[in-house]
Amino acid sequence: MTFTRKQQKTVLIALIAALVVLNAYNFMTKEPPKTASLTYTRGAVAHTAVREGLAAAASGADPLNVFIARREERFPGVNRDIFRMENPAATKPKSAPPPIIVSPLPPPPAVPERTPEEIAADLARADLSKFRFLGYLTDKDNTLFLSKEGELFIVKAGDVLLKNYKIKEAGKDYVILLDTTTRVEVRVELSGGDQAPPQLQQPQPPPPMRRSL
């Protein structure tokens, strides 16, 4: 259903009039705010009666007077304050735990500093230990064979090799090498020895089996 322009205008005027009537009715029937007088004036101090606990009886007091005083209490026989549950006399302040004293760790032992001479001696000892004594050329000749890291040396007792290594002493199964710079000596044993390699035993064939007739 469609409205004409005139009908729409009439409906709009009616809605505006109803809204104005409702606002006027609300304003006329609105109740004024309620107020109440203050109980305490500004700056006044309120006092409330608080029942105190029973006073402890002094030593030597008459028991009859104590009994009569307790009977006159508002709550006779009540010896405990409900607003404080614990017993103040029995409560003792907890002592703080003793402090934990941590002793400092002892300093690590000082490593003695090595001198350049000691370092050079260790290096020379390690290098001389790389030599291998392979044996003599013949039984009567003093010519011996030494090897070091794949290099072969043919020398005699008293010879100098690699500039500062000297054959100080040569025995049947050992050689003493001397580093002329650091004066470090290393004894090199004969490699191999006189032990012959073990021979492998060939397996024997099993004996032939006999047939019984």
* pLDDT per position as a tens digit, 138-176: 767 788 999 999 899 999 889 998 889 999 999 889 999
Q: What is the per-residue pLDDT across 103-127, written as a single tens digit (0 to 9) for each?
A: 788 888 887 888 989 999 999 999 9
Per the model's pLDDT, the better-predicted residue between 201 and 20 turns out to be: 20
Mean pLDDT of 55-80: 60
pLDDT at 202: 40
pLDDT at 196: 36
Residues belonging to the chain: 213
List, in order, residues 6 or more apart from 129 with CB less than 8 Å away: 186, 188
Domains defined along the chain, listed by start: 118-189 (2.30.30)
pLDDT band, residue 7 (cuts 50/70/90): confident
212: Cβ contacts below 8 Å, ≥ 6 apart: none
Mean pLDDT of all residues in 3-28: 86
The residues near 124 (Cβ < 8 Å, ≥ 6 apart) are 179, 181, 182, 184
Q: Is the pLDDT of residue 94 over 70?
A: yes
The arithmetic mean of pLDDT across residues 57-68, rounded, is 64
Please say if the pLDDT value at position 41 is more than 60: yes
